[in-house]
């Protein structure tokens, strides 16, 4: 592991050199994951990386609210939070970095909500967040694990929160890529305001259509099919605690409204986002919650 304390960046590289990851302490945001030199994550060329605004790309951590609090009838205790909460725009601290055995590299970052007045003012529950990032060559994978501890203190009421890992997965062409693994899972279509439909097709092919769907429950393994002739896939798996899956791509029209997304950037990614967002988690004082995802590269069988 190497650290650039100047810009608050941690770089992890496996001993073989085949895999590397870059994490900013700003939001504990993974902004790059390379395997054999190929970038697996999307990062907008117009995204600020200086801490002035949320990052458009990589793996933003969404906590303690997904979307805007006003979207939810019951948003007690969350009303002062910004869209997607505070975790993705807070300055996290690095706890440790280690290279264990011969195939992995890892680091841990933490965030104490009580350390920041603006967080204390917006979120009444004192929580300690610990984010473990583990990089491996075999299998070629990136594991992200978030632990939330309710520190009790003044407020002994259960801490209320959503969690979501907002993966921007790089694709050659989002209008050709497919998403497999969600067949039969009911979803809320946020573009059709609350429509509930069970997914009938597999794979899902967006074909350049906007998608903003929250698939509820099941904690399925979801595969991104690049459909670029290589047969390669990226499989997103997760713990039962991250049981929901958001599938998002704004498509061309809505992308024009995203000032931090470079021209045509919407075609270069699909967001597959494991989360616990269909209902608020209620964590009793003194207890911990852990959610883990794994992104794994599966090489194509047919080398076309």
> What is the helix (H) or strand (E) element at residue 255, kind and residue range?
helix 251-255
Residue with tokens 């590299």: 105
- Which of 148, 188, 271, 280 touches ligand TA6 (CB under 6 A)? 271
273 is catalytic: yes
Q: How far is the CB of 55 from ligand TA6 (least distance, A)?
A: 8
- Say whether residue 87 binds ligand TA6 (CB under 6 A): no
CA 236/CA 224 separation, integer angstroms: 8
Sole binder of ligand TA6 in the list 35, 92, 215, 248 (CB under 6 A)? 248
| Contact set for ligand TA6, span 48-67 (CB under 6 A) | 54, 67
| Widest CA span in the chain | 61
Using rule CB under 6 A, residue 244 touches ligand TA6: no
Total of residues contacting ligand TA6 (CB under 6 A): 11
Residues 142 and 104: their CA atoms lie apart, in Å, by 10
- Tell me if residue 288 is catalytic: no
Query: Least separation, in Å, of the C-beta of 48 and ligand TA6?
Result: 12
Min dist. Cβ of residue 193 to ligand TA6 (A): 12
Applying the rule CB under 6 A, the residues between 147 and 166 that interact with ligand TA6 are 166
Residues 6+ apart with CB under 8 A from 269: 42, 57, 168, 169, 170, 171, 174, 249
Please report whether residue 185 would count as binding ligand TA6 according to CB under 6 A: no
Which residues within the stretch 209-228 sit at the binding site for ligand TA6 (CB under 6 A)? 212
Give min distance, CB of 41 to ligand TA6, in A.
Answer: 15
The strands making up 222-225's β-sheet, listed across from edge to edge, are 93-98, 104-112, 127-137, 140-150, 288-298, 233-238, 222-225, 178-180, 204-205
List Cα–Cα distances, 114 to 86, 117, 119, 129, 155, in angstroms. 12, 7, 7, 11, 12
d(CA 86, CA 67): 12
If one asks whether residue 270 binds ligand TA6 (CB under 6 A), the answer comes out as: no
Catalytic residue from among 130, 166, 240, 262: 166
List the structure tokens of 262: 């470079």
- Assess 97 for contact with ligand TA6 (CB under 6 A): no
Point out which residues bind ligand TA6 (CB under 6 A).
54, 67, 83-84, 166, 190, 212, 246, 248, 271, 273
Positions annotated as catalytic residues are 166, 273
């Amino acid at each position: 592991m190497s650290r650039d304390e100047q810009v608050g960046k941690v770089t992890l590289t496996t001993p073989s050199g085949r895999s590397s990851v870059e994490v900013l302490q700003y939001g504990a945001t993974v902004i790059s994951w390379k395997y054999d030199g190929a970038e697996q994550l999307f990062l907008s060329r117009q995204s600020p990386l200086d801490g002035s605004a949320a990052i458009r790309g990589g793996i933003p951590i969404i906590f303690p609210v997904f979307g805007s609090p006003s979207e939810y009838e019951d948003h007690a205790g969350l009303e002062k939070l910004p869209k997607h909460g505070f975790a993705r725009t807070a300055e996290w601290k690095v706890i440790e970095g280690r290279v264990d055995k011969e195939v992995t590299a890892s680091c841990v970052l933490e965030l104490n909500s009580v350390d920041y007045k603006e967080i204390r003012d917006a979120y009444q529950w004192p929580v300690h967040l610990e984010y473990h990032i583990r990089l491996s060559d075999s299998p070629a994978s990136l594991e992200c694990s978030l632990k939330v501890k309710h520190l009790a203190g003044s407020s002994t009421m259960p801490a209320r929160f959503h969690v979501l890992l907002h993966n921007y997965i790089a694709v050659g062409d989002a209008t050709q890529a497919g998403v497999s693994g969600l067949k039969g899972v009911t979803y809320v279509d946020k573009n059709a305001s609350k429509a509930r439909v069970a997914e009938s097709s597999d794979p899902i092919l967006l074909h350049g259509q906007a998608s903003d769907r929250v698939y509820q429950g099941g904690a399925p393994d979801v595969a991104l099919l690049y459909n670029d002739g290589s047969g390669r896939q990226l499989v997103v798996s997760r713990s039962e605690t991250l049981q929901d899956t958001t599938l998002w791509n704004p498509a061309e029209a809505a992308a024009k409204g995203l000032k931090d997304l470079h021209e045509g950037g919407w075609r270069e990614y699909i967001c597959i986002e494991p989360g616990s967002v269909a209902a608020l988690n209620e964590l009793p004082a003194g207890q911990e919650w852990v959610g883990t995802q794994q992104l794994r590269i599966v090489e194509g069988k047919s080398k076309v």
